Amino acid sequence: MLFAISCGKKALYVAFSGGLVLAVTLATVTWWSVESLRKDTLTRINFAQHHIDTIISNARAVANVTRNLAGMPCTGNTLSQLRHDVIRTPNVRAIDLVRQGRIYCTSLYGATDEPDRLSLPSARNNLQLLPGNTATPHLSVLVYRTTRPKGTLLISIDGYFVAETLFAIRTLPLVYFQVGNTLMSKSGQILTPAQLPAGKREFITSPDWSYRLVIVTPTGILFGNIVHNYRKSVLVCLLLALAASLLCYRILTRPLTPVEQLQNALARHEFVPYIQPIVDITTHRIKGGEILIRWKHPEAGLIPPDQFIPLAETSGLIVPMTRQLFADTGRFFQAHTARLPAGFHLGFNISKSHLADRHLMEDCQNILAELLPCRAELVLELLERDTAECTAEMKTAFSKLKQEGIKFALDDFGTGYSTHACLQNFSTDYIKIDKSFIQMAGVDDISRHIVDNVIALAESLNINIIAEGVETASQEAYLQGRNVKYLQGYRYGRPVSLDQFIKNHLSGGDGPFFTGSPALAYQAEQ
C-alpha cells in the first residue's frame, strides 16, 4: 500500500536512496582499486625479489669460487685472484679476507689490518646491510659473509643495485629492503624501523635469504589512487546516485492510482457517515435514518458516494470502508442514545460482496449492543438488482443475520430484476421505492401505475414501504393517500453529518420530534 508521504519524509527518502547507492558503488570502487593495487604491487615485488635474489646469488657464487683463499696470506697472487673475481662478478664491489676477527686482505687496497666490525652474532644470518664502508662511507653496502675453516670471506655488494631494483619496479606503495634492523629505501637511504612512514605494513620474506621486503601503504596513497585512476568510475557512482534519487523522487511523486487514493483516504479516515432522516408521516416523528457515506477529501471537499462506491466495490475496499462506517456510527450514537426514539431505525447500504464477509455479523451485533438502550432497529439495505441472484451463500448469511434480529430492506425497488422468489427468500422487512418513481408519480401515468402496483404488492406480502426522494407536498399527499407510512427525501432533510442530524431533528424540548417545518426542506448538506 502506498500512503501519502509528507514533503520532509520524501526529501529524506530521496536523499537516503541516493546516499545508499553512492555508498555501495563507492565502496565497490574502493574495494576494486585496493585489490587491483594489491595484485599489481605483488607482481612487481615478486619481480624485485627475484632480481635481488639473483644479486645475492652472484655474491654466493663468487664466494664459492674464492673459498680456497679464505685464510691464505695476502700475497700478490691472492690479490690478483680476488680482483679478477670481483671484476667478473656483476654487482660485487669488493672481497675481503678475515682471520681471527681482523680484515687482513681486501681486493680494494691489498693488505690491511682492520677489526672485523661486521662480525655477526648469528652465523646463520649471512647478510648485513650497512650505510657504507671504509672505502665508500656514503654508499650503502650489502655484505655477504661466508666462513670457512681457515678464515672468513666478506663479499660486498653495492647497495645501489638493490635500491635501483626497488626504484625500477615503480610501485605506488613504498617498498623497503630490510636486513636485520636496517632498512633501505628505493633512493638508497638507510633507515631504522622507527623511521618508516605511517601506513598499512605488509612483509614479504625471502625464502632463501635472510632479508625481507617491507610494503608501506599510507592511506592517502589509496585515496590518491582512486582519484587518479578511477576518476571515471567515481563519476559513474555519482551519476548512479543521482539516478537513484531521481527514480525515488519520481516514484514518490507519481500520481496515485484511483485505488491507491481510496486506500489512502481509508487509512486517513476520510470516509465519514452522513445520515438522512426517515420519517413516520402518521406521527410526524423521526423514525430513524439512512447512513450515507461521504468522502471528506482534503482538497476536493465533500465527494458523493456515486463517484467512489463502484471502484470501492470492484477493488474490495467497500468492506473495510463499510466497517469503518459501522464503527463510527455506533460510537457516535452510543453517546446519544438518550435522544434517540425507541426502535430507532438505522439503515446501512450493504454491497452484495459484503454479505459473505465473516465480520459483518460481529459488526451488526456490536452496533445493536451499543444502541441497546433505545432498542434500535438495524436495517441492511441491499440493492434489488444485487439480490436477483439469490446464491446459497447469500441465503445462509441472510438467515443467520435474520436470526440475530437484523432487518433487511430491498433498495431502489422497481429498478432491478425484482422477483417474488427473491422477496420470499429474503423475507424482506422493507422495500424502498426508488426516488425516480416517486418523482415521476405526480407527472407520469406509467410511473404512478408502477408505484401503485409496488404498493399493492408490498401490502399483499405485508412488507413495510419506505418512499425515497420525497421532495414536494403533492408527492407527500399522494403517498399518504396510499397509506405509505415511511418517507425519506429532501422535504424532511438532506443527508447531514451525525452531529447535525442530532441538532436538526433530535434536539427538541419535548424529546424526539420531527417538525415538518418547510425550513428544513432543501437545506444544503452541511
Q: Does 384 bind Ca ion (CB under 5 A)?
A: no
CA nearest 79: which of 52, 111, 122? 111
Residues in region 408-447 near Ca ion by CB under 5 A:
411-412
Choose the one of Ca ion, ligand C2E, none that binds residue 276, judging by a C-beta under 5 to 8 angstroms depending on kind.
ligand C2E
Helices and strands counted in the chain (H then E) = 17, 21
Contact partners, residue 228, CB within 8 Å, separation at least 6: none
Pairing mode, strands 430-433 and 407-413? parallel
At closest approach, how far in Å is the CB of 510 from Ca ion? 30
Cβ atoms 108, 94 nearer than 8 A: yes
Written as one string, the DSSP assignment of 200-252 is EEEEEE-SSSS-EEEEEE-HHHHHHHHHHH-HHHHHHHHHHHHHHHHHHHHHH
**For residue 359, what is its C-alpha cell?**
465480520
Stretch that binds Ca ion, among 103-111, 220-228, 394-402, 404-412 (CB under 5 A): 404-412
At closest approach, how far in Å is the CB of 348 from ligand C2E? 7
At closest approach, how far in Å is the CB of 328 from ligand C2E? 11
At closest approach, how far in Å is the CB of 309 from ligand C2E? 5
Binding test (CB under 6 A) with ligand C2E, winner from 106, 245, 276, 428: 276
At closest approach, how far in Å is the CB of 6 from ligand C2E? 30
When the beta carbons of 131 and 416 are compared against ligand C2E, the nearer one is 416
Q: Does 332 bind ligand C2E (CB under 6 A)?
A: no
At closest approach, how far in Å is the CB of 469 from Ca ion? 8
Binding test (CB under 6 A) with ligand C2E, winner from 330, 341, 414, 495: 495
Q: Does 317 bind ligand C2E (CB under 6 A)?
A: no
Task: Tell me how long the chain is.
Answer: 526
Question: Within a 10 A sphere around the Cβ of 185, how many other Cβ atoms?
Answer: 19
Cβ atoms 326, 358 nearer than 8 A: no
When the beta carbons of 86 and 498 are compared against ligand C2E, the nearer one is 498
When the beta carbons of 33 and 387 are compared against ligand C2E, the nearer one is 387
Q: Which amino acid type is present at position 503?
A: K
Binding test (CB under 6 A) with ligand C2E, winner from 107, 322, 329, 428: 322
When the beta carbons of 186 and 432 are compared against ligand C2E, the nearer one is 432
- Tell me the β-bridge partners of 152: 98, 147
| Residue 507 backbone phi and psi in degrees, to 5 | -115, 20
Q: Does 381 bind Ca ion (CB under 5 A)?
A: yes
Q: Give the whole-angstrom CA distance, residue 68 versus residue 78.
A: 10
At closest approach, how far in Å is the CB of 351 from ligand C2E? 4
Q: Does 469 bind ligand C2E (CB under 6 A)?
A: yes
Q: Give the whole-angstrom CA distance, residue 240 versus residue 217.
A: 30
Q: Does 325 bind ligand C2E (CB under 6 A)?
A: yes
Q: Does 341 bind ligand C2E (CB under 6 A)?
A: no
Contact partners, residue 81, CB within 8 Å, separation at least 6: 66, 69
At closest approach, how far in Å is the CB of 256 from Ca ion? 29
Binding mask 195-224 for ligand C2E (x = CB under 6 A): ------------------------------
Q: Does 322 bind Ca ion (CB under 5 A)?
A: no
When the beta carbons of 249 and 490 are compared against ligand C2E, the nearer one is 490
Q: Does 304 bind ligand C2E (CB under 6 A)?
A: yes
Stretch that binds ligand C2E, among 207-215, 301-309, 456-464, 500-508 (CB under 6 A): 301-309
Q: Does 504 bind ligand C2E (CB under 6 A)?
A: no
Q: Does 363 bind Ca ion (CB under 5 A)?
A: no
CA nearest 55: which of 196, 182, 211, 189? 211
Residues in region 342-381 near ligand C2E by CB under 6 A:
349, 351
Contact partners, residue 26, CB within 8 Å, separation at least 6: 234, 237
* 339 DSSP assignment: G
CA nearest 356: which of 385, 386, 311, 398? 398
Q: Give the whole-angstrom CA distance, residue 495 versus residue 274.
A: 6
Choose the one of ligand C2E, Ca ion, none that binds residue 248, judging by a C-beta under 5 to 8 angstroms depending on kind.
none
CA nearest 82: which of 72, 93, 95, 71? 95
Beta strands in 284-434 (DSSP E): 285-297, 301-303, 345-350, 377-383, 407-413, 430-433
Query: In the chain, how long is the greatest CA-to-CA distance?
Result: 155
Q: Does 493 bind ligand C2E (CB under 6 A)?
A: no
Residues in region 405-464 near ligand C2E by CB under 6 A:
411-412, 435
Choose the one of Ca ion, ligand C2E, none that binds residue 325, judging by a C-beta under 5 to 8 angstroms depending on kind.
ligand C2E
Q: Does 293 bind ligand C2E (CB under 6 A)?
A: yes
Instruction: Give me the residues that bind Ca ion (CB under 5 A), please.
Output: 349, 381, 411-412, 468
Instruction: Give me the residues that bind ligand C2E (CB under 6 A), please.
Output: 276, 292-293, 304-306, 309, 318, 322, 325, 349, 351, 411-412, 435, 468-471, 488-490, 495
